[in-house]
């Protein structure tokens, strides 16, 4: 188990996924036992308990994996600058000092914004190693003309985005057109160049866990660096059963190719208790490498405030009011 003294920022040492040819035989062999998945997910929280110092350590690790996000129609440069300031100093200095962490440079995993806010984020994060992730390809529906989606990726990379969160065409999954999905993600990967590609599957829209499993595998075959559940805009976002299916596809892809793919649950993860369940699943299913921000991210906007409250409780023995931990 982690301890507070073991918390560190990860270094990205694994080789990047180059993709592979689309293999329909692999897809045909994919099976999902719904009852077994639901049973495994439902028992997760009761089988492993983390408390006190260990819990605080896991929560600090979760902070380093958060993609601190603002994706609202009323986003302003001021809001993005406040978000970036929080990414630089996500946990109050006095709390870190009390835990002997005052000398550690703790930041969030990334800041995630729309294309129009990349320039502001680049300026606000100057001098840090915090990546800027931009949502792209007609986010959140992904139904804009294909050539415009490609140009949007290229424009965001040129503006300074280190990571591109793309949305797939869910219709390709619903019609089982795996070649079209593969070609689409492969083209997005090529347009992203050196920027890492995070493929959003829209799991709440593609109906079945078997579809989730197959879409996950196709995206990885096409070269995705991360697979991600949701845009956060769907009516149903990240869940533990969906996560279990996706991380087992990551494990299978690793067995086939030797390449490690990252995972990002997004939407609906708002409490420290929620994120601990996801961390435990990553550790049990994939191992400690997937507790690091180069292979695990959490798409959330309100989660950080609750984590900071829990850390304050660990340090002081009491909770402060929620309004003392604003996000932006």
- The domain locations on the chain are 21-321
- Give the C-alpha separation, 185 to 181, whole Å: 6
Instruction: Classify domain 21-321 by CATH number.
Output: 3.20.20.70
Distance CA 25, CA 202 (A): 24
When comparing pLDDT for 55 and 182, which is higher? 182
Output the pLDDT for position 45. Answer: 65
Instruction: Give dist(CA 77, CA 290) in Å, integer.
Output: 33
Do residues 293 and 64 make contact, with C-beta atoms less than 8 angstroms apart?
Answer: yes
pTM of the shown model: 0.92
| Catalytic option among 61, 264, 283, 294 | 264
Catalytic option among 186, 214, 228, 283: 228
**More confident site: 101 or 56:** 56
Token couple for 31:
């099976």
Token look-up 């302003």 returns: 76
Query: Exactly one of 67, 165, 274, 294 is catalytic; which is it?
Result: 165
Share of residues in the chain with pLDDT > 90 (%):
80
Half-sphere exposure of 323 (CA within 13 A, CB side): 0
The angle formed by the CA atoms of residues 261, 109 and 267, to the nearest 5 degrees, is 75
Q: Reply yes or no on whether the pLDDT at 290 is more than 80.
A: yes
Q: Clarify whether 264 is annotated catalytic.
A: yes
CA dihedral 137, 16, 117, 267 (to 10 degrees): 70
Among 325, 326, 327, smallest CA distance to 95 is for 325
Confidence category of residue 128, pLDDT binned at 50, 70, 90: very high
Burial classification of residue 81, based on how many CB atoms lie within 10 Å of its CB (0-12 exposed, 13-18 middle, 19 or more buried): middle
What is the structure's pLDDT at 319? 74
Which has the higher per-residue pLDDT, 167 or 327?
167
User: Is 273 a known active-site residue?
Assistant: no
CA distance linking residue 74 with residue 297, whole number of Å = 25
Q: 221 Cβ partners below 8 Å, 6+ apart? A: 19, 20, 21, 22, 23, 26, 182, 253
Order of all β-strands in the sheet with 163-167: 262-264, 226-228, 196-200, 163-167, 132-135, 110-113, 66-69, 298-300
pLDDT digits (tens, 9 = 90+) for 94-110: 999 998 887 778 999 99
């Amino acid at each position: 188990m982690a301890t507070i003294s073991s918390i560190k920022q990860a270094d990205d040492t694994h080789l990047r996924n180059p993709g592979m040819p689309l293999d329909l035989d692999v897809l045909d062999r994919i099976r999902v036992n719904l009852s077994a998945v639901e049973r495994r997910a439902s028992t997760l929280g009761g089988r492993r308990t983390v408390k006190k110092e260990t819990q605080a350590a896991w929560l600090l690790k979760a902070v380093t994996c958060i993609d601190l996000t603002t994706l609202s129609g009323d986003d302003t440069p001021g809001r993005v600058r406040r978000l970036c300031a929080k990414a630089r100093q996500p946990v109050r200095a006095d709390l870190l000092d009390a835990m002997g962490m005052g000398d550690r440079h703790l930041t969030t995993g990334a800041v995630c914004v729309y294309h129009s806010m990349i320039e502001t984020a680049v300026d606000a994060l100057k001098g840090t190693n915090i990546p800027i992730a931009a949502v792209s390809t007609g986010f959140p529906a992904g139904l804009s003309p294909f050539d415009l989606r490609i140009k949007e990726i290229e424009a965001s990379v040129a503006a300074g985005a280190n990571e591109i969160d793309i949305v797939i065409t869910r219709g390709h999954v619903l019609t089982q057109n795996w070649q079209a999905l593969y070609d689409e993600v492969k083209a997005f990967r090529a347009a992203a160049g050196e920027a890492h590609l995070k493929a959003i599957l829209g799991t709440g829209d593609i109906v079945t866990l078997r579809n989730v499993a197959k879409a996950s595998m196709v995206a990885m075959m096409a070269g995705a660096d991360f697979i991600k559940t949701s845009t956060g805009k769907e009516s149903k976002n990240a869940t533990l059963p969906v996560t279990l299916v996706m991380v087992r596809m990551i494990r299978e892809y690793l067995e086939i190719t030797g390449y490690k793919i990252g995972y990002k649950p997004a939407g609906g993860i708002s409490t420290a208790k929620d994120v601990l369940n996801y961390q435990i699943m990553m550790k049990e299913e994939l191992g400690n490498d997937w507790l690091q921000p180069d292979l695990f991210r959490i798409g959330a906007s309100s989660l950080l405030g609750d984590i900071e409250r829990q850390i304050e409780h660990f340090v002081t023995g009491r909770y402060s009011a929620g309004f003392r931990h604003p996000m932006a």
